[in-house]
Amino acid sequence: MRRWRGGSSWWWTRAPTIYDVVLRMQTECVARVRPGVAFRDLQLHATMVAVEGLLALGIFRRQFSADEIFRAGTGAAFFPHGLGHHVGLDVHDVLSRELLRPASEGMWGKRRPVGPQTVRAMIRQQQTAAAAASTGTDNNNNNSGEGKQPQPEPQTPSSPPPKKRPSSSSTTTSSRPHSPSSPSSSSSSKYGVLQPNMVVTIEPGIYFCRSYIESYFLKEGGEHRRFFDLDALDRYWAVGGVRIEDCVLVTPDGCENLTSAPKVGVDE
C-alpha cells in the first residue's frame, strides 16, 4: 500500500511532513524485524515515532514530553490500528489476531482498533517482559493486566467479521493444515513473537479522522485533550491519512522486504 503525491496544493503544504513521519515509522520497524522480536514491541516503537513526529510538528503541545504523551496512549488518536498481520494462505492469515494480543484480548492485526487502553496494556506487557528477562523468569507477558476491568476504548467504524467457512463432519484435526494449537495461558505469549519464515505486513499509518479524534480525544474534561494544540491540528485535517505497507519475510538472522513498490522520499 502506498500513498502517492497529488497535484493539489494541500499535499505540498502539509502532507509531505506527515508522509515523512509514517515513512520513518515504517523504515525503523522493518529494520527491527528479526526472530525473537515481539510484534507488540514494533507496534509500540511505531507509536513512539508517531508521537515524536507529531510533537515536532506542533500538533501535540510541546510543553509535554513525547514519553508523557506516549504513556497516556494518546498516540492512538492518529495511529488507531494494528501495525500488521500474518500473510500466508489468506491475506489475513491464521494467528494474525495473536500478533497484537494485549491483556488476553484477541486482535485481528490491523483490523481491530487500537485505542489508548490497548497501548497502555502493551506498555505494561513490555515492562513485565523486560523485568522477567532481567530476573530470568518466564512470565506470560501477553496476559499481564488480565483480570483488570477494561476501560472504554474510542469507537471506530467496524468492519464485518471474517466469514466462517462451512463446517464439515468429515473435517478432523488431523486433516487440517498444521498450525499451532489454540492459545492457552501458558502458550499465548509465544504467538506474538516473530519466528523464521513468518511473513508479516509492516503498515503503520497516521490518520486525521475528525469525528474519531473529536468525539473521544478532544472531548471536554477528557484526559487527552490537554496534549493537543488545536490550532495546529486544524491545519492538518485535510491531509486525511497516510499509510505505507510492505510484506516482510522473517529470516534466521533478520528480514527480507518482499515489497518492491517505490516509496516517495526513498525511491523518487
- pLDDT per position as a tens digit, 163-182: 444 443 333 333 333 333 33
What's the whole-number mean pLDDT along residues 210-225? Answer: 96
**Most confident segment among 8-12, 33-37, 121-125, 184-188:** 33-37
Residue 115: burial class (beta carbons within 10 Å; 0-12, 13-18, 19+):
buried
18-28 pLDDT per residue, tens = 999 999 999 99
**Phi, psi angle pair for 81, to nearest 5°:** -140, 165
**Could you give all domains of the chain from N- to C-terminal order, each with its CATH number?**
9-145+191-257 (3.90.230.10)
Global pTM exceeds 0.85 = no
Confidence of residue 67 (pLDDT cuts 50, 70, 90): very high
Confidence of residue 262 (pLDDT cuts 50, 70, 90): confident
In DSSP terms, 38 is beta-bridged to 193
Confidence of residue 87 (pLDDT cuts 50, 70, 90): confident
Residue 101: burial class (beta carbons within 10 Å; 0-12, 13-18, 19+):
buried
Give me the pLDDT at residue 10, please.
56
- pLDDT of residue 103 exceeding 50, the answer is no
- pLDDT of residue 187 exceeding 50, the answer is no
The average confidence (pLDDT) of the chain is: 77
More confident residue, 216 or 92: 216
